[in-house]
């Protein structure tokens, strides 16, 4: 039996999320089905993090055990031959027997992408949030600064019904930055772990700052309040992508 580490890229548009769903199409479901088809083994996949419905990944990492005689390279090719077009194994290698994709992760890098121009883009519609009016990038960057470090992020936590209420809301963000290139604005967030909808709630709040609907200084006040009702709306899922996981 060998433990394998797999890196996945997927377009989350047609998925109900990474995690298995009783009545929905999931990344985990199609991947486990592909592994079973190739190896004749029923294996569970354990990801670095569970992305929500509609969220994409360029560098999701997961692990699973297998007794197949196929080399990792051959198994990777076989998986990509049977996986649907919206998910791919971009790397596959043997890992130490105690490797754990979630617990061993040192940081996850998320990017929320905004198309900031009057005209929509059919080619980028599935991967970016379209905001027509120009955003104040400097104000958004200023507003993001207080979020770096270790804080209680209750104000940016998903609504009740997601994570258990007794979950520790303290998280550490190594970086929250704004990057602009041509007609796109990216909100970059890097940390070891995140609360449910945390990055999308941060993005929604920073977008409101960029639109002039709230002052940059308010973000520090929102964070300190621990009150979700004071933060901005949850930004749409399709703008978010899990870019990389570091170990």
State whether 234 and 150 are in the same domain: yes
Per the domain annotation, does 44 fall within a domain?
yes
Q: Please tell me the distance from the alpha carbon of residue 11 to that of residue 195, in angstroms, as a whole number.
A: 22
State whether 132 and 241 are in the same domain: yes
Q: Please identify, among 61, 95, 129, the residue that sits at the C-terminal boundary of a domain.
A: 95
In this prediction the pTM is 0.95
State whether 57 and 162 are in the same domain: no
| Pair type for strands 129-131 and 107-116 | parallel
**One of 52, 65, 136, 183 is an active-site residue; which one?**
52
Per the domain annotation, does 212 fall within a domain?
yes
State whether 133 and 226 are in the same domain: yes
Which residues of the chain fall short of a pLDDT of 70?
Answer: 159-166
Q: Is 201 helix (H, G, I), strand (E, B) or coil?
A: helix
Per the domain annotation, does 224 fall within a domain?
yes
Structure tokens at 221: 């006040």
Instruction: Find the length of the chain.
Output: 247
pLDDT at 167: 81
Look up 86 and say whether it is catalytic. Answer: no
State whether 38 and 134 are in the same domain: no
Q: Are 132 and 120 in contact (CB under 8 A)?
A: no
Residue 188 burial (10 A CB sphere; 0-12, 13-18, 19+): middle
Q: Is 3 helix (H, G, I), strand (E, B) or coil?
A: strand
Q: How many domains does the chain have?
A: 2
List the domain range (segments joined by +) for residue 40: 2-95
pLDDT at 64: 98
Per the domain annotation, does 100 fall within a domain?
no
């Amino acid at each position: 039996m060998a433990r394998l580490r797999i890196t996945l890229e997927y377009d989350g548009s047609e998925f109900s999320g990474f995690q298995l769903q009783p009545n929905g199409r999931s990344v985990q479901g199609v991947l486990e089905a592909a592994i079973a088809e190739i190896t004749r083994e029923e294996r569970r996949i354990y990801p670095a993090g569970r992305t929500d419905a509609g969220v994409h990944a360029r560098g999701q990492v997961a692990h699973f055990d297998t007794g197949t005689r196929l080399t990792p390279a051959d198994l990777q090719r076989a998986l990509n031959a049977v996986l649907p077009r919206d998910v791919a194994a971009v790397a596959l290698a043997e890992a130490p027997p105690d490797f754990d994709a979630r617990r061993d992760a040192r940081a996850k890098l998320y990017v929320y992408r905004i198309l900031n121009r009057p005209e929509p883009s059919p080619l980028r519609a599935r991967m970016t949030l379209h905001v027509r009016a120009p955003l104040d990038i400097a104000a958004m960057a200023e507003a993001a600064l207080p979020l770096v470090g270790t804080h209680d992020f209750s104000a940016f936590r998903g609504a009740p019904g997601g994570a258990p209420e007794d979950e520790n809301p303290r998280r550490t963000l190594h970086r929250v930055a704004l990057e602009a290139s041509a007609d796109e604005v990216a909100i970059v967030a890097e940390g070891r772990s995140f609360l449910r909808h945390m990055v999308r709630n941060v993005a929604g709040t920073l977008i409101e700052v960029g639109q002039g609907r709230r002052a940059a200084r308010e973000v520090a006040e929102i964070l300190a309040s621990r009150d979700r009702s004071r933060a901005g709306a949850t930004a749409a899922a399709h703008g978010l992508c899990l870019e990389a996981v570091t170990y």
